[in-house]
């Protein structure tokens, strides 16, 4: 059994939460206007029509401003750790493989372990899934928790190392010049000295970041065998990308690479897809709107990146629910009280029936975790999950 170590969750200030909320909505808009989700048909595009329905004005009291009666089933337990412990226990029951990075997730999808969801389903819309998947392709090292860049060839690897060395020399020269500028700057001229000091600080950050990247690449590509394994991993990923879900992606192109990652993250295991479609259909039939879904499956690496990017919902435990492939998040930001109440009541019913675990979060989302066999894990497994968290780490409400 893989050991599960619950890490302490970061506590965010109220101001930080609102900054995240603003950035999230901006990112959602930008992500929804990506090439993956648009077409030349403009207003006739079904995806854009669905977006307009999701974002249609319902008055000032929407999202968390709406006055709703949250069912007990969608609130935290008295012991806040139980919420995540139940989901970890459900994973213990199934012993599902967890995708650590995009290469692993691609292979698992290719083997049929996950089902790929279209951006617009018959009753739901993927509303910003993968909005932070902008980075290069990397290998996630489980031991160190580090992301190591993948290269297509020895030539590309050597070119990157030369680029880093050249940039490092350039920044070190700049740092020395700025230090000399500071020495020459009159002490009474505080504004000039402050500006130079700020430039020095930025340059030092660039130097440290460059050294960190260089050292990570050196450490994981130092042996010939390890180097070939990393290059082979890129080759396998590129081969899948050439014909993935009926589409071809160029991993050398940043936009195409992001579309590929979004496609990978737009997936669920079959039991979760069944629950999602059940909830979405009920909502769509009642309100004639697609249900907006913001998160589906995540890799462990992507989960970590979301946390580092400031997402207070990205939990930092060893087995985050979204990496299991059974969790999805419903976005309630635009919904009025009637819509939210209906939705929560539907999900509460499923929880009473033992089909899902769920929580109405404080940040305009409802988190839903589907139980693979249609029933919650045993109390024995839940206690086991608790025991593995006995180090005292807080596994409270964050997702």
Instruction: Write the pLDDT tens digit of every residue in 221-267.
Output: 988 899 999 999 999 999 999 998 889 999 999 999 999 999 999 99
Residue 277 neighbours by CB under 8 Å, 6+ apart: 121, 123, 124
Q: How many CA atoms lie within 13 A of 395 on its CB side?
A: 27
State yes or no: pLDDT of 135 exceeds 90: no
pLDDT over threshold 60, residue 200: yes
More confident residue, 147 or 393: 147
Confidence of residue 55 (pLDDT cuts 50, 70, 90): very high
DSSP secondary structure of 233-252: HHHHHHHHHHTBTTB---TT
> Taking residues 75-96, what's their average pLDDT?
94
Q: How confident is the model at residue 310 (pLDDT cuts 50, 70, 90)?
A: low
On average, the pLDDT of the chain sits at 86
On the question of pLDDT at 382 being above 80, the answer is: yes
Q: Estimate the crossing angle of helix 102-110 against helix 254-265, to 10 degrees.
A: 60
Residue 32 makes CB contacts below 8 A (sequence gap 6+) with 51, 127, 128
pLDDT confidence of residue 15? 34
Q: Model pTM?
A: 0.82
- Across the range 82-88, mean pLDDT stands at 94
Instruction: Tell me how long the chain is.
Output: 399
Looking at residue 362, what is its pLDDT?
85
Q: Tell me the DSSP string of 86-142.
A: HHHHHHHHHTPPPP-SHHHHHHHHHTTSSEEPPSB-SSEEE-STTTT--S--EEEET
**Would you say residue 139 has pLDDT above 90?**
yes
Q: How high is the pLDDT of residue 308? A: 65
């Amino acid at each position: 059994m893989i050991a599960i170590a619950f890490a302490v969750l970061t506590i965010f200030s109220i101001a930080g939460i609102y900054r995240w909320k603003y950035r999230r909505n901006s990112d959602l808009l930008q992500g929804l206007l990506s090439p993956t989700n648009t077409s030349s048909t403009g207003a006739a595009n079904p995806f854009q029509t669905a977006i307009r329905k999701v974002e249609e004005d319902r008055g000032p009291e929407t999202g968390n401003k709406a006055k709703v009666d949250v069912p007990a089933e969608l609130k935290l337990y008295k012991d806040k750790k139980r919420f995540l412990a139940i989901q970890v226990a459900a994973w213990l029951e199934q012993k599902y493989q967890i995708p650590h990075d995009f290469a692993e997730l691609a292979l698992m999808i290719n083997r049929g372990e996950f089902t790929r969801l279209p951006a617009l389903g018959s009753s739901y819309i993927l509303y910003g899934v993968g909005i932070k998947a902008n980075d290069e392709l990397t290998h996630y090292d489980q031991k160190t928790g580090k992301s190591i860049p993948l290269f297509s060839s020895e030539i590309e690897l050597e070119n990157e190392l030369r680029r880093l060395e050249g940039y490092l020399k350039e920044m070190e020269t700049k740092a020395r010049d700025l230090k000399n500028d500071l020495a020459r700057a009159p002490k009474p001229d505080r504004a000039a000295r402050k500006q130079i000091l700020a430039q020095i600080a930025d340059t030092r950050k660039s130097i440290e970041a460059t050294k960190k990247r260089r050292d990570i690449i050196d450490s994981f590509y130092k042996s010939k065998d390890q180097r070939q394994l990393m290059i082979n991993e890129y080759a396998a990923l590129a081969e899948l990308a050439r014909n993935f879900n009926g589409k071809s992606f160029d991993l050398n192109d940043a936009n195409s690479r992001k579309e590929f990652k979004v496609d990978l993250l737009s997936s669920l295991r079959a039991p979760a897809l069944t629950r999602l479609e059940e909830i979405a259909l009920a909502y769509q039939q009642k309100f004639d709107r697609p249900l907006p879904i913001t998160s589906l499956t995540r890799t462990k690496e992507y989960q970590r990146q979301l946390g580092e990017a400031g997402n207070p919902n990205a939990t930092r435990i060893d087995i985050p629910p979204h990496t299991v492939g059974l969790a999805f998040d419903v976005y309630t930001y635009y919904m009025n009280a009637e819509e939210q109440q209906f939705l929560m009541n539907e999900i509460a019913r499923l929880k009473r029936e033992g089909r899902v675990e769920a929580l109405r979060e404080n940040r305009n989302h409802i988190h839903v975790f589907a139980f693979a066999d249609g029933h919650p894990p045993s109390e024995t497994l839940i206690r086991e999950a608790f025991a593995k968290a006995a180090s005292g780490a807080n596994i409270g409400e964050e997702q």
